[in-house]
Amino acid sequence: MKKILYLVLLLTVFTEAISQTAVDFNNYVPIKCSGEIPEDFKTELSNLVNQAKNKQTNSRIDKKREVEFAELSNYQLNNILYSGKVLYGDRMTTYVNKVADIVLKNEPELRSKLRFYVLKNTDLNAYSTQRGIIFVSVGLLAQIESEAQLAFILCHEIIHYKNNHNLETYKHNQDLTKNESMVNRLGNMMNYSKDNELEADKEGLKMFLTTPYGTNELNNLFDVLLYSYLPFDEITFDSTYFNSLPAYSMPGKYFLKTGSDITAEEDIDDSLSTHPNIKKRRLGIQKLLETKNHPDGASFINSKDEFTTVQRMARCELAVIHLQEAETEDAFYAAFLLEKLYGKTLFGDKIMSGALYTMCKQKNHNEEGVKHSKTSKRGNNDIELSDEYWKNIEGQSQAIYHFSYKVPAKELNILAAKKMYENYLLYKDDFFGTRFHSLVYELVNTHELSLDNFKKEYVPEDTAKVKVEEVKPEDESKLSKVSKIKKKKAVQTEKQDYSKDNYYKYAFIGYYNDSMFKESFEYYAEEKTSREKKEESEDYQKYSEAKEKVIARHGQALDIQKFVMINPYYAKYLMQSSYYNYSFFNYKVKDPALSPLEEEAIEQSLVSYINDYSTKLGMDVDVIGSTQQKDINTDMFNDYQQLMSWFSERISIGTMGAYTYNDQYMSQYANQYGYIGFCYVSNINKSLEVVFVLFDIKNGGSKFLYEKEVKKGKPTGVFSKMMLYDILHQISQKPTKINKLKKKYKIDE
């Protein structure tokens, strides 16, 4: 009986452990931080600089440089910590720390100095800092093939910290004589950096060989690094993926038969790179392994299942990041890979549908429906995408870029609406429903389509031929001229309707009796007619003209008394001129005379002005971000990260009135704050510019945009204060004058 009771208890504990650690990949939700917030996120820059000042050094010169470096590096590090992209206490970060525990099992003192966090970044990379913080990117966790590979990367980064590479690089670059040419100085910097990388490989391998991990994974690791600019897998995209046969079949001209060649070379010229090329690094490791090797070690110390779970989570995060950064083709292909590797999920369909949705919005609202010049992140490089940008993409994902470029805006809009509605019927999730309505709005207003433009049922092409042959030649002579012309046009139209170029007319077969589908088209058609009629009326035109004059004189009057605001940002620039290719061009650079501490102090002053003025105006403005450092906790930090993610995605997508992927997680913030604002203050030489934007969290729309520049002004001076007060006043004041105009011209809006 006791044995049975023990087994039941053991089974219960085991079952609870599984339920606590299981990841819902079907409805995957972007990961959040967990547990107590680390001190790294709470330590202010001034304290870190004071620590450097109090540290004993060999000379005044070393002291000066170390304090300067502490100020600069910690300022940059704090910006990363509050970028909205850093994770702690989550499952991925916990796994990285478990591997670090194994690597540093014999060096407990060194382990106590290091903290490992996961960075939501698509590049395959890891970063070591002088402060003992090591970042591992989501892109790295998505692409590596084993725990042993992660262990070697951690060893490499630990050596960077252990050997003070960051600080020594700063000192080395400061020592370079300014009498040297820029080319020589740059070459010297690059060579010094490459030497550090090779040192980190060499000594990192020594550390790695003290662990239980096997060296047989290392050669493949360099292959992973070589191809890291490609997605996490290479699977051919099926040109029939979007088809609903027999009626809806997209033309083959939109799809590539094969992906482009992969041109990665391991022996590339690395003279202007901070890292040695892959061949040099691979050969360096192979040479060291000739004297000491450990090929029979483990690929996994923790369970392989844990690794594959973390890897899949990282791949899901990767898809989300691509979508949030408006890298729609990469987002779609990542979700396509997830489906092929792990099966169809609600999450995957949200990413793919969301990617098509944003692609559609971009095409609809760019001139003539053609995607404007943009960049795509591939590895550590930004590839400029313009004209036939898909040609710059390598591998199987090129097919998605080609499709995105070739498919006309109208057909893409129809496809996006079709997929969104199909997914709504499958999952009954409002994510798809709201975006379907948004896409119908586009079909009606941008492409001027209605239900009449689509077929209710599919009739095989043969039927059209039978109809054409039903009228015999002798009977045709009995028809009038007008009847003959109408008959000929009807036949031509019918043939055209069944042609491949009009395949999209069959997109919505089977949905005509669905109330939601039908009512959406009817609603936006009626709304368009009503809106156009109102805007054409004489009273409305008079009202619009009078309203513009009131706003020009008195500013906006939004009657918004509460919103949340991301910590204001300040920067100081100097304008520079350069001569290149027989012409001069101007560009701006950050003013080196302004120290990070001074910049931070200015931002804190801006926060105090905003707090003071909002209180005087009776407003409730909650400023969040790095100014909360001392009092922040994990719940506050997660809220901040979510708001930052939403805001960044909103800016990335643009102002075309599209839903963001993050909208599905924003209802509590919409209810709590209503609106979110961001303020950017800058000096360019002596001029002062203030930019402020306010978004409606509920619908994502831009509610208020303020841009003003004065020829001379300080960020903490009178003009800056006047503009900040003006911003808050326009947001909060009641629209009394506008309401009088509405009443006068009988306008309802």
Q: How far apart are CA 737 and CA 441, in angstroms?
A: 32
Q: What is the 3-state secondary structure (H, E, C) of 470-483?
A: CCCHHHHCCCCHHH
CA triplet 707, 704, 604: central angle to 5 degrees? Answer: 65
State the amino acid at position 588 in one-letter form: K
pLDDT at 654: 82
Nearest CA to 714 among 595, 605, 580, 552? Answer: 605
pLDDT of 486: 62
- Tens digit of pLDDT for each residue in 600-610? 999 999 999 99
Q: Is 211 helix (H, G, I), strand (E, B) or coil?
A: coil
Question: What is the predicted pLDDT for the residue at 466?
Answer: 39
Coil vs helix vs strand at 135: strand
Q: Are 572 and 683 spatial neighbours (Cβ–Cβ below 8 Å)?
A: yes
Structure tokens at 475: 């009977």
Token pair, residue 53, equals 């000042």
The residue assigned the tokens 């060893």 is 155
Count CB neighbours of 136 within 10 A.
29
Sign of CA dihedral 414, 419, 422, 428: negative
**Phi, psi (rounded to 5 degrees) for 15:** -65, -40
Q: Are 128 and 117 in contact (CB under 8 A)?
A: no
Q: Which parts of 446-505 fold into alpha helices (H)?
A: 461-469, 473-476, 481-497
501, 251 in Cβ contact below 8 A? Answer: yes
pTM listed for this prediction: 0.90
What confidence score (pLDDT) does residue 549 get?
A: 96
pLDDT recorded at residue 488: 59
Q: How many alpha carbons fall within 13 Å on the CB side of residue 307?
A: 17
| Cβ neighbours of 497 (radius 10 Å) | 15
Tokens of 344: 């169809």
CB 730, CB 556: distance < 8 Å:
yes
- In 10 A of CB 290, how many CB atoms? 7
Give me the amino acid identity at 705.
Answer: L
Q: How many angstroms from the chain centroid is the CA of residue 6?
A: 50
User: What span, in angstroms and rounded, lies between the C-alpha atoms of 343 and 145?
Assistant: 20
- Which two tokens mark 132? 């003992």
- Longest distance between any two alpha carbons in the chain, whole Å: 111
- Beta-bridge partner residues of 577: 586
Distances (CA, A) of 365 to 297, 417, 431, 494: 56, 16, 22, 32
Phi and psi dihedrals of 644, rounded to 5? Answer: -65, -40
Structure tokens at 215: 């060296």
What the block records as the tokens of 20 is: 């606590």
**Residue ranges, the chain, pLDDT below 50:** 1-20, 367-377, 379-385, 462-471, 473, 494-498
CA atoms of 59 and 157, how far apart (whole Å): 28
Residue 183 and residue 625: Cα distance in Å, rounded?
40
Q: At residue 220, what are phi and psi to the nearest 5 degrees? A: -65, -30
User: CA distances (Å), 101 to each of 110, 154, 162, 672, in order?
Assistant: 11, 11, 16, 41
Dihedral sign (CA 151, 155, 161, 162): positive
Which residues lie across from 376 on neighbouring strands?
Answer: 383
Evaluated on CA atoms 163, 227, 397, 95, the torsion sign reads: negative
Return the pLDDT at 494.
Answer: 47
**Secondary structure of the chain: what % helix, strand, coil (to 5)?**
55, 10, 30
Sign of dihedral through CA atoms 548, 549, 553, 558? negative
Torsion of CA 149, 151, 154, 158, to 10 degrees: -140
Q: Which domains does the chain have, with CATH numbers?
A: 6-229+264-309 (no CATH), 328-459+498-535 (no CATH), 558-733 (3.40.50)
Q: What percent of the chain has a predicted confidence (pLDDT) above 70?
A: 88
Query: Phi, psi (5° rounding) for residue 566?
Result: -75, 145
DSSP summary character for residue 146: -
3-state secondary structure 705-733: EEEEEECCCCCCCHHHHHHHHHHHHHHHC
Helix, strand, or coil (residue 702): strand
Distance CA 355, CA 413 (A): 12
Do 405 and 369 touch, CB atoms closer than 8 A? Answer: no
Per-residue model confidence as pLDDT tens digits over 73-106: 999 999 999 999 999 999 999 999 999 999 999 9
Distance between CA 89 and CA 33 in Å, rounded? 6
Beta-carbon neighbour count of residue 414 at 10 Å? 26
